Amino acid sequence: MRGLPLQFPHTRRKTMHALGKYVVKSLHHKRLSSSTGAIAGLASGLSVLVGMIAAHFAPRGLTRVSIALHIVKKPLIVKLAPVIAGVAVAFATAAGILRFYSWLQEQEDEAE
């Protein structure tokens, strides 16, 4: 306790007032929009690849019946394919929202 400085309310108020100068940064909406679009495209391609692999390993015939009767388990890739597709959809949604935000910012920049 001896080495810690005491914080009084008046000193904390000054530091919190100056904090707004350092924390607030503008987003580079064009760069952010293009990078999230690239990430969404990569996730979409990965989702298609995993979906094709899962379709190849999907059970057929008597194996499908034994899975329906809970005798054997589904292959892991078949279980993971919908999750990976959901993540790809989430990335695409985020990219669309950020592209819309970028479009709005471009409209504001043109108006000024």
Asked if residue 62 belongs to a domain, the reply is: yes
Torsion of CA 49, 50, 52, 56, to 10 degrees: 140
Asked if residue 65 belongs to a domain, the reply is: yes
Asked if residue 51 belongs to a domain, the reply is: yes
Confidence of residue 103 (pLDDT cuts 50, 70, 90): confident
Q: What integer pLDDT is reported at residue 52 of this predicted model?
A: 95
Mean pLDDT of 73-85: 93
Q: Which residue has the tokens 């990430």?
A: 39
Instruction: Give residue-wise pLDDT tens across range 3-52.
Output: 555 555 555 445 555 555 665 556 677 777 888 888 999 999 999 999 99
Asked if residue 34 belongs to a domain, the reply is: yes
Mean pLDDT score of the chain: 81
**Cα 63 to Cα 76: distance, rounded to the nearest angstrom:** 15
Give the domain range for residue 47.
28-111
Q: DSSP letter string over 51-102? A: HHHHHHHS--THHHHHHHTTSSPPPHHHHHHHHHHHHHHHHHHHHHHHHHHH
- Number of domains within the chain: 1
Tokens representing 40? 């969404």
Cβ distance 55 to 71 under 8 Å?
no
Asked if residue 11 belongs to a domain, the reply is: no
Asked if residue 64 belongs to a domain, the reply is: yes
Q: What integer pLDDT is reported at residue 104 of this predicted model?
A: 84
Mean pLDDT of 67-85: 92
Asked if residue 39 belongs to a domain, the reply is: yes
Asked if residue 82 belongs to a domain, the reply is: yes
Q: Report pTM.
A: 0.66
